[in-house]
Structure formats: structure tokens, C-alpha cells
Structure 1
């Protein structure tokens, strides 16, 4: 029987997940939690999300919008879109390098 590889866990950065979610459009916290779980499989706790929202707002990458029915939506800013694009480009380079390096080499068992 083949030995099962250990689970490496999820490779996530909450701020990146929030920016990806908001790149689709404005959302309030609960909707972001749902969206992030749908596209990444990562279930965020509200405290984790709101800590990330605070940090992103301090950096000027997102902005709060007026409260609608007791919910505060957020919007990604142009600076946030730039940061997201830069981070995604870095992730693509990492993925390409990892894929290339993980290929079996000729003659290696």
C-alpha cells in the first residue's frame, strides 16, 4: 500500500483572497466569506476577515462604502487592483518555477 503524503495545508494569504473577491465587485463581509470559500476552499472566520479588511484599508487597497441594511460593503481601490495584479504575477512565476522543478529528471528514480 502506498504511503500517503502529508497534507501541506492550504497556501493562503487572507489579504490576497480578499482582493481577489473584491476584484469581482463590491461585497460585505459575509458575502466575501462565502465567495472566498467558493473559489478557494478556504473557510475564513469573521475575525480573520475583519483583521485583513482593516490592514487593507490602512494600505489604501480597499475602501468601505456606506452601510446598507446593517452591512458595510467594501470596494477595491485602483491601488488595490495594482497590488493584486503584482501579487498574481509573482504567484504565476512561483507556479511556473515549481512546475518546472517538480518534473521528473531523466534517469532520476
Structure 2
């Protein structure tokens, strides 16, 4: 699987889709990276109905996931989890392509 979503992450994403009253049939999870953050790249997660011609697309148990080709180079093999803990709540990325990760886990270098 190019990008893996934990059961907890899938439940949270589906919950957000429901809370925002989005069309579950047409909405996609866009996963990507952008330059910035304390380590060089920041992770992006977005719900969208837009798909570009060159996007990688795959399905993870009923969730359609899209990723632009440049981001895919950095994210192939990444696992995304969702944590709801005393110290914080949010999505956590376990990226085997990252050479270092910042303390907050929201940015990395490769």
C-alpha cells in the first residue's frame, strides 16, 4: 500500500466528512507535502472533490486518497495514524523516507 491509514485515522476522517456534511461518494483525502516547517517539509491533509490529471489515486477501505507526484516521492510507504491524547490531538505521520523529523511530528527532512 503506497500510503497507509490506521483504523483510527480512517474513523476520524470519516467522522470529519460526516460532521462537515460532505458527499462521501465524491470527496477525496488529499495527502501531500509542502516546503516549510521546522525541518524543511510540512505534511498536508485536506478533503477535496478536486483531482488533478497527474495525481496518484488509490483507495483505502472506502476512502479515496489522492497525492500529487512530487509529494508521492516523499510519502510512498508512509503510515498515517490519529492520536487523541492528553498532550495533543491530531494526525501523526510515520514516514520511512524522512531522514529527520521535528519534535512536533508535523514536518520532516529527506
TM-score, structure 1 as length reference? 0.26
Greater Rg, structure 1 or structure 2?
Answer: 1
Structure in which a larger fraction of residues adopt helix: 1
TM-score, structure 2 as length reference? 0.26
| Greater relative contact order structure (CA < 8 Å, 6+ sep) | 2
